[in-house]
Chain A
Amino acid sequence: MTPVLEIENLHTEIDGNGPPTRAVDGISLDIRRGETFALVGESGCGKSMTALSIMRLLPEAGRIASGAVRVNGEDLLALPEAAMRDVRGRRIAMIFQEPATSLNAVMTVGRQIEEVLERHLNLSGGPARTRAISLLDAVGVPDAQRRIGEYPFQLSGGLKQRVMIAMALAAEPEILVADEPTTALDVTIQAQVLDLLKKLQVERGMAILLITHDLGIVAGMAQRVAVMYAGEIVEIASREAFFSRAQHPYSRKLFESLPGAARRGAELAVIPGQVPPLNSAFHGCRFADRCDFVHARCREESPGWTALGGEHKVRCHWVEDKLKGSRADSAPASEGAGAVKANPADALTAAPGGAAILLSVRDLKVHFPIRKGVFKSVVGHVKAVDGVSLEVAAGKTLALVGESGCGKTTVGKAILQLIRPTAGEVVFDRVDLTRLRGEALRKRRREFQIIFQDPYASLNPRMRVEEILSEGMSALGLYAGKASLQRRLNELLDQVGLPQAALARYPHEFSGGQRQRIAIARALAVEPRLIICDEPTSALDVSVQAQILNLLARLQRELGLAYLFITHNIAVVEYLAHEVAVMYLGRIVERGSAGEVLGSPRHPYTQALLSAVPSIEADSGRAVIKLEGELPSPVNPPAGCHFHPRCREARPECRATYPGVSQLSPTRQVACWLYSNKV
Chain B
Amino acid sequence: MPVMLWTDALIFLLLAVVIGYFYYVSRRAHMLATWMRVTESPSGMAALVVLGAFALVGLLDSLHYRPTLDQGDAQGRPVYSVEVLSVLDALAAPLRQRQERTYSAPFDTRAYARETVEVPGEQGAPGTQRREFPRLQYGGAHLGNEAGRERDIVVSGLQGFALAALLWWGLAGVLAAGMARGTSSGAGEVLQRIWRGETRTPWRAVLIALGVLCAIAGPVLAWCTKYHVLGTDKVGQDVLFLALKSVRTGLVIGTLTTLVLMPLAVVAGVTAGYFRGWVDDVVQYVYTTLNSIPGVLLIAASVLLMQVYIDTHPELFPTAVQRADLRLLFLCIILGLTSWTGLARLLRGEVLKLREFEYVQAAQAFGVGHSRILSRHILPNVMHVVLISLVLDFSGLVLAEAVLSYVGVGVDPSMTSFGTMINAARLEMGREPMVWWSLAAAFVFMFVLVLAANLFADAVRDAFDPRVRVAGK
User: A residues within 8 Å of B by Cβ?
Assistant: 16, 61, 413, 416, 418, 441-443, 445-446, 448-450, 452-454, 457-463, 467, 471-472, 475-476, 506, 508, 519, 522-523, 526
Contact = CB atoms under 8 A, between A and B. Distances in A.
Contact of B30 (A418, A446, A457, A508): A508
Interface stretch (B79-87, B89-97, B358-366, B407-415): B358-366
A441 B473 contact: no
Contact of A452 (B29, B361, B377): B361
Given A16-B473, A508-B30, A475 B358 contact: no
Given A61-B473, A506-B29, A460 B364 contact: no
B359 A460 contact: yes
Nearest to B362: A458
Nearest to B376: A463
A658 B423 CA distance: 79
Nearest to B364: A418
A416 B365 contact: yes
B366 A471 contact: yes
Contacts of B359: 457-460
25 contacts: A16-B473, A416-B365, A443-B367, A445-B365, A448-B365, A449-B365, A450-B365, A452-B358, A452-B362, A453-B358, A457-B357, A457-B359, A460-B359, A460-B381, A462-B380, A467-B376, A471-B363, A471-B368, A471-B376, A472-B363, A472-B366, A475-B366, A475-B369, A475-B372, A523-B362
A508 B29 CA distance: 11
Contacts of A506: 29-30
Nearest to B380: A462
A441 B367 contact: yes
Contacts of A452: 358, 361-362
A462 B361 CA distance: 16
A37 B246 CA distance: 71
Given A16-B473, A460-B380, A462-B381, 20 more contacts: A413-B361, A443-B367, A445-B366, A445-B367, A446-B366, A449-B365, A450-B362, A452-B361, A459-B359, A460-B359, A460-B377, A471-B366, A472-B363, A472-B366, A475-B363, A475-B366, A475-B372, A476-B367, A522-B362, A526-B366
A426 to B, nearest CB: 14
What's the dominant secondary structure at chain B's contact region? helix
A333 to B, nearest CB: 41
**A-B CB proximity, top 10 nearest:** A442-B367, A458-B358, A472-B366, A452-B358, A462-B380, A445-B367, A475-B368, A460-B359, A475-B366, A457-B358
Interface string B392-418: 000000000000000000000000000
Contacts of B29: 506
Contacts of A416: 365
A177 B127 CA distance: 102
Contacts of A471: 363, 366, 368, 376
A508 B462 CA distance: 20
Contacts, number: 69
A21 to B, nearest CB: 11
Contacts of A442: 367
A476 B365 CA distance: 11
A452 B357 CA distance: 10
Given A16-B473, A454-B358, A508-B30, A461 B364 contact: no
Most chain A CB within 10 A, of B357, B366, B369, B377, is at B366
B33 to A, nearest CB: 10
A54 to B, nearest CB: 22
Contacts of A522: 362
A161 to B, nearest CB: 24
A460 B364 CA distance: 13
Interface string B443-473: 0000000000000000000000000000001
A522 B367 CA distance: 13
Contacts of A413: 361
Contacts of B372: 475
Contacts of B364: 418
A452 B363 CA distance: 12
Given A418-B361, A459-B359, A476 B366 contact: yes
B405 to A, nearest CB: 41
A442 B369 CA distance: 10
Contacts of A449: 365-366
Contacts of A443: 367
Nearest to A450: B365
Contacts of B30: 461-462, 506, 508
Contacts of B357: 457-458
A640 to B, nearest CB: 34
Contacts of B381: 460-462
A445 B358 CA distance: 17
A525 to B, nearest CB: 9
Contacts of B377: 460, 463
Nearest to A534: B358
Contacts of A450: 361-362, 365
B75 to A, nearest CB: 61
B293 to A, nearest CB: 22
A475 B367 contact: yes
Most chain A CB within 10 A, of B359, B361, B369, B372, is at B359
B409 to A, nearest CB: 37
B189 to A, nearest CB: 22
Contacts of A526: 366
Contacts of A457: 357-359
Nearest to B361: A418
Contacts of A453: 358
A148 B283 CA distance: 43
Contacts of B358: 452-454, 457-458
Contacts of B362: 450, 452, 458, 519, 522-523
A413 B369 CA distance: 18
B297 to A, nearest CB: 28
A448 B363 CA distance: 13
Interface string B66-79: 00000000000000
A508 B381 CA distance: 14
B277 to A, nearest CB: 11
Nearest to A456: B358
A105 to B, nearest CB: 18
A441 B29 CA distance: 37
A445 B29 CA distance: 33
A420 B181 CA distance: 63
Nearest to A508: B30
Nearest to A472: B366
B223 to A, nearest CB: 47
Contacts of B369: 475
Contacts of A459: 359
A441 B363 CA distance: 14
A467 B359 CA distance: 12
Contacts of A446: 366
Interface in B281-302: none
A448 B367 CA distance: 11
A442 B29 CA distance: 34
Contacts of A467: 376
A61 B473 CA distance: 7
A459 B361 CA distance: 10
Contacts of B363: 471-472, 475
Contacts of A454: 358
Contacts of B376: 460, 463, 467, 471
Interface string B341-367: 000000000000000011101111111
A189 to B, nearest CB: 25
A415 B359 CA distance: 18
Contacts of A16: 473
B80 to A, nearest CB: 50
A23 B79 CA distance: 78
B386 to A, nearest CB: 14
A443 B359 CA distance: 20
Contacts of B368: 471-472, 475
A448 B364 CA distance: 12
Contacts of A460: 359, 376-377, 380-381
